Structure 1
């Protein structure tokens, strides 16, 4: 197989794994509070990544001021705030709707790239962004019409998920600003450690009200799954793929994240999928296709996702 084919497979697997993160957390949050769950995931990931990093690279790359700034932004917005918004959002809305809103990430990335990175937005990109916005809005508007009632809880949950999407998009977009000296493993290790530090005070507060001995083996296994499979394996696969294929091509595969989330939500959580979910998903997928039709030079993206997932 060619390097490109292998890269496509790696990115596909990574995106599918990230899609499972939403569903898995629905179960974890039944027994473990949000901040403690995030701390456990990042702490376990850090304890695994540190020996891996030391064995392979020995020391961190040269720390330039710009790299420190970017890593801090990624840690705070893309890990800390992303996790809070996503996990709190899941308490108010369904995993199905969460998955659809999360699929708007490429469109939000386009807006952020235009505002902060001064990248140009052509007709195709603007059309794609508008289609994804239409998809997100249709879920909420048609949902209200179909049920003939307004669920403020669901609307608030979807709003929090959208905030998580913005954090996710900032994470990916700002990753382009890191110097090439930073390997995927180095970035993943650094961000996991910083993320664990950020969550520590809040996690300690959560831990005081939880009897860890009462947490079931199944939930502990799911916590280790989020740390090892989602935070480490998916991240490594993603970054290996992004070093070979252009970011514009890789963004197509983000559609696998909400599709995985929706399928698992239906199969595992037994959540219902309504016609307005399919309509909204259709607009979003169409928007992603339109967005990625614009031709760009193959530029690798040196980014890492430690939550989705974040």
Structure 2
């Protein structure tokens, strides 16, 4: 039971951090350009990441050249691209609207996977996708 409780606590903390992203991005967008803010965010996060690796005893991964290329593409398109566009977007809209738009990510992810992924044997929606989409629908109707 302890392992399950610990997992739930980690997931709850992760959701608190994710939920604060829109608010933090709105504050950041008022004072910094998107790419500067993104660079600052990752410059601050990297030492924390290294400390967590050291504390948990995880070694730096040994990747082949092709794996580094994939990792670089994912970082640029995913983390850096997402963060830069998020900061640019909240500069132009309210934090509440940005939260609603970001809440549609599970549906967008499903559509993207369906259109671009070569794996056609997977179902269009996984259980996690269904849960995220249902939560987004419920949350849309709450005051």
Give the alignment's TM-score, normalised by structure 1. Answer: 0.38
Report what 1:94 is aligned to: 94
Report what 1:4 is aligned to: 4
What is the deviation of 1:23?
0.9
User: Given the superposition, is the C-alpha separation of residues 8 and 51 from structure 1 closer, same or farther in structure 2, using an over 3 Å criterion?
Assistant: closer
**Are the counterparts in 2 of residues 90 and 98 from structure 1 also a CA contact under 8 Å?**
yes
After TM superposition, the structure 1 = structure 2 runs for residues 33-52 of structure 1, keeping only pairs within 5 Å, are 33-52=33-52
Helix, strand or coil at the partner of 2:74: helix
What is the deviation of 1:68?
1.8
User: Given the superposition, is the C-alpha separation of residues 46 and 8 from structure 1 closer, same or farther in structure 2, using an over 3 Å criterion?
Assistant: same
Give 4+ residue runs of structure 1 displaced > 3 Å after superposition. Answer: 119-122, 247-256
Deviations 1:155-181 (A, max 9, x none): xxxxxxxxxxxxxxxxxxxxxxxxxxx
Q: Which has the larger displacement, 112-121 or 21-30?
A: 112-121
Provide the C-alpha distance between the structure 2 equivalents of 1:110 and 1:46, rounded to a whole number of angstroms: 30
Unaligned runs of 5+ in 1: 126-246, 259-277, 283-310
CA RMSD of aligned residues (A): 3.3
Helix, strand or coil at the partner of 1:47: helix
After TM superposition, the structure 1 = structure 2 runs for residues 265-284 of structure 1, keeping only pairs within 5 Å, are 281-282=140-141
User: Given the superposition, is the C-alpha separation of residues 112 and 29 from structure 1 closer, same or farther in structure 2, using an over 3 Å criterion?
Assistant: closer
User: Given the superposition, is the C-alpha separation of residues 76 and 51 from structure 1 closer, same or farther in structure 2, using an over 3 Å criterion?
Assistant: same
What is the deviation of 1:3?
2.7
User: Given the superposition, is the C-alpha separation of residues 255 and 94 from structure 1 closer, same or farther in structure 2, using an over 3 Å criterion?
Assistant: farther
Larger relative contact order (C-alpha < 8 A, sep ≥ 6)? Answer: 1
Deviations 1:112-159 (A, max 9, x none): 33331514345xx3xxxxxxxxxxxxxxxxxxxxxxxxxxxxxxxxxx
Number of aligned residue pairs: 139
**Are the counterparts in 1 of residues 30 and 91 from structure 2 also a CA contact under 8 Å?**
no
Report what 2:69 is aligned to: 69
**Are the counterparts in 1 of residues 28 and 37 from structure 2 also a CA contact under 8 Å?**
yes
Provide the C-alpha distance between the structure 2 equivalents of 1:106 and 1:253, rounded to a whole number of angstroms: 6
Report what 1:273 is aligned to: none
Report what 2:117 is aligned to: 116
What is the deviation of 1:34?
2.2
User: Given the superposition, is the C-alpha separation of residues 5 and 281 from structure 1 closer, same or farther in structure 2, using an over 3 Å criterion?
Assistant: same
Deviations 1:222-276 (A, max 9, x none): xxxxxxxxxxxxxxxxxxxxxxxxx8448736988x8xxxxxxxxxxxxxxxxxx
Give the alignment's TM-score, normalised by structure 2. Answer: 0.74
Unaligned runs of 5+ in 2: none
User: Which of the two has higher C-alpha Rg?
Assistant: 1
